[in-house]
Amino acid sequence: MKNHIARRFAAFLVAALAMLSNAPAGSAANLKSLRCEYLANPLGIDVEKPRLSWVIESNRRAERQTAYQVLVASSPEKLAREQGDLWDSGKVASDQSAQVEYAGKPLLSRTRCHWKVRVWDKDGHRSAWSQPAMWTMGLLKHSDWTARMIAADWPGPTNMPLPWFRKTFLLDAKPKRATAYVCALGYYELYVNGRKVDDHVLAPAVSDYSKRAFYVTHDLTDYLVPGKNCLGLWLGRGWFSKGKVRGAFHDGPVVMAQFDIGDGLRIGTDETWKVRQSPITALGAGIVHEFGGEKYDAMQDLPGWSSADLDESGWATPVVVQAPDIEISAQMIEPNRITETLAAKSVSEAGAGKYVVDMGRNFTGWIEMKVKGQKGQTLRIDYPYPTYGPQHDEYIPRGDGVETWQNCRFNYHATRTFTVSGLGEKPEVADIKGYLIHTAYQPASEFSCSNEQLNWIYRTVLWTERCLTIGGYAVDCPHRERMGYGDGSASMESMLCNFGAGAFYTKWLGDWRDGQDPVTGDMPNVAPAFYTGAGGGPAWGDLCVVLPWQVYLQCGDRRVLEANYPAIQQWLKFQDTKTKDGLLQPYVGIGCDQMAWSFLGDWVAPRGARAKHRNRRLTQRSILQQRLLPLQSRVGGKDGARVGQDPGCRRLQGKSGCVARGHAEGVQRPERRGLCAG
């Protein structure tokens, strides 16, 4: 009997060893940087079939993925047990590791999705599972919103006090899950029980308020306690300036916020909230050449304004305003964040009580300094570009010693130097800081070489791009206009090479689609297109054609072509209506109502922008536009080919040749010769 058992055990052992010897060894590939729609663990997205991506690390040369498996579960526990109750892709033979579309159960509002991935390498060896990642779904239908839009009831928007809102409520126990959805027209900060809930600044991303508003989702679970709790909202005007921009319908910012606390408790903004003036007053009109700044009156500060135990008997009731008929969309882009701190380089006297501070380099963001002033006096910062509308900030001290003055909360400035006045003594260099702010995309590549001049150029390009990308779009200049001009396409390849800018450009392309004339197909010169009067021309609207193609090339994003191809077709059809004898004719478009600013060419032409004969100048400017037409048609044809629009893409590709020939014939005429001059 013993011998029989021993023989059976030996046979089993031999068979097991044989199976192990034939099984593929585990792969050494390591999976990292899991992303959903370009974002790390995003909350509250509104894409019903999101794309997933990951990065493979290996110490083996020429490693590659030959297959993958994705698991998506409704809870971390199920994911740990390898139960993909939302989606189990199974083993998929593919080298695709970017833009892998979710193909599981339909995702509803508020669904929580936990996921992980494993891959098979070039030898067929399977990797370990990645670390888990997650995303949550936002509010996918208008009916999901039960909150009302509220505002303060005092005059604005120029020199208006910015409002604080608060709401208290009781909890029997700490909730297992609590989520906030905040949609503000203007800027906001969210507080719970006296604590700011994130590191976002100047939130949300900017949009065309006549077409769209963004909401941001926050996890509040760790901020709530049993007993009495308080929700606080601090609003800033931002671009929401009534009478100055399209879609700004109220004197001052407005907000609609909804809080799902768990166990069926839902709190929304309404007339039961409380409101009072905060210490910040918005200076100026908050628009091009009138950005003004902020005044902070420290004597009006109220410590604990968003704490649960504050006496709110002196607070007023907000007004409920009618929410506009616009799209309410999830913010599918990284927030603005403080990404770097600068130390001041020098402080020099500039007259009685005035001091010039040099930060050592230009930057976009905020300034913080320690000051000591008399109670009630006004300290002031002035910025060195008065020609384009003076900008300044003010601070009224409490007068109780050294105080910290942050110049802005819901505005920003771009400068290297500034002048401080009103101080009784020269400030210390060590007491002054600058904070760089931009959309918080991450680096995608690095460059260095033995030539220090090339290294300096590279670093300068990166710094410039960071300074020009605040609010979810690329600005022409962050100090005087702050608008998203279409000639930002000149830097798109550099941005996509240097940074993970897929979400950034996806959002900005949405701004261009929102700004397109739905009847004619004309494109604005800037996006978000809440402001008219911005100069440009066809070369600016051309961004809607070339940018989707670059995102596709750099990110493998086919969906960005599908989303933008209808707008591309409409734009090129509109250009056809402005073409005669194969040449694009000067016209006044929706971006600007003046011909002098509507058909711009080379901005710094060798012959100068101030041509003596305006007709000749306009002819020269048109040469650049003719050169762009074949490019637009050719790239538009490529866009169409990738999304299966065969008839449309063949027409556009054929048109590009005809336009190029027409341009060549046109510029050979004597009256059309010359350099482009904007």
Examine residue 283 and state whether it is found in any structural domain, yes or no. yes
| One domain for residues 222 and 290 | yes
pLDDT of residue 668: 47
Instruction: Tell the residue number behind the tokens 């069926």, with chain if given.
Output: 264
- CB within 8 Å of 137: residues ≥ 6 apart: 44, 45, 46, 107, 108, 109, 110, 111, 112, 113
- CB within 8 Å of 136: residues ≥ 6 apart: 42, 43, 44, 45, 110, 111, 112, 113, 179, 217
**pLDDT bucket at 480, cuts 50 / 70 / 90:** confident
Mean pLDDT of the chain: 88
Query: What would the pLDDT profile of 13-42 be if each residue is shown by its tens digit?
Result: 434 433 433 334 577 789 999 999 999 999
| One domain for residues 87 and 191 | no
Closest CA to 584 of 631, 547, 639: 631
| One domain for residues 199 and 237 | yes
| One domain for residues 58 and 150 | no
| One domain for residues 525 and 629 | yes
Q: What is the pTM of this model?
A: 0.90
Examine residue 507 and state whether it is found in any structural domain, yes or no. yes
pLDDT of residue 132: 98
Q: Is the pLDDT of residue 609 over 60?
A: no
Count up the domains in the chain and report the number: 4
| One domain for residues 370 and 320 | no
Give the whole-number percent of the chain exceeding pLDDT 70.
84
Examine residue 153 and state whether it is found in any structural domain, yes or no. yes
| One domain for residues 416 and 374 | yes
Residue-number span of the structural domain to which 99 is assigned: 30-132
Q: Burial level of 385, CB count in 10 A (0-12/13-18/19+)? A: middle
Phi and psi of 153, rounded to 5°? -110, 65
Q: Is the pLDDT of residue 678 over 80?
A: no
Residue 652 CA: distances (Å) to CA of 133, 299, 551, 577, 645: 42, 64, 20, 15, 11
pLDDT of residue 664: 47
- Residue 227 CA to residue 343 CA, distance in Å, equals 43
Examine residue 449 and state whether it is found in any structural domain, yes or no. no
Examine residue 8 and state whether it is found in any structural domain, yes or no. no
| One domain for residues 434 and 576 | no
- CATH no. for residue 182? 2.60.120.260
- Residue 356 CA to residue 570 CA, distance in Å, equals 51
